[in-house]
Copies of this chain bind each other. A is one copy, B any other.
Amino acid sequence: MSLFGFFNKRSTAPAARERLQVLLAHERATIGQSDLVAVLREEILAVIAKHVAIDRDKVKVKMERGDVVSTLEVDIELPDLAATKSFAAAH
């Protein structure tokens, strides 16, 4: 199953929502070594916020740290970009 399928799970909300999901996984060669995912988290959110208005209440962040693999899952419900003049004009 390509991950395309994973993201294709239609949101349960009746009207389609504008949604952005970000997944990061850092697989370390050396156990116990520092965590790239935690380092990148805020900067990636800042890059996204440069392009779309993000309502912090609509951002779900989940981080998991294993011995070898750390993951970051971010799920952002976005304002309808088509209706957002600034995004449409800028892109």
Contact = CB atoms under 8 A, between A and B. Distances in A.
Contacts of A16: 27-29, 68
7 contacts: A4-B64, A19-B27, A29-B80, A30-B82, A34-B91, A36-B52, A40-B51
A23 B91 CA distance: 21
Given A4-B69, A15-B29, A36-B51, 12 more contacts: A3-B6, A3-B23, A3-B25, A6-B6, A7-B25, A8-B69, A17-B27, A20-B25, A33-B82, A33-B88, A34-B81, A40-B48
Nearest to A27: B19
Interface of A: 3-4, 6-8, 11, 15-30, 33-34, 36, 39-40, 43-44, 47-48, 50-52, 64, 66, 68-69, 71, 73, 78, 80-82, 87-88, 91
Q: How often does this chain occur in the complex, in copies? A: 2
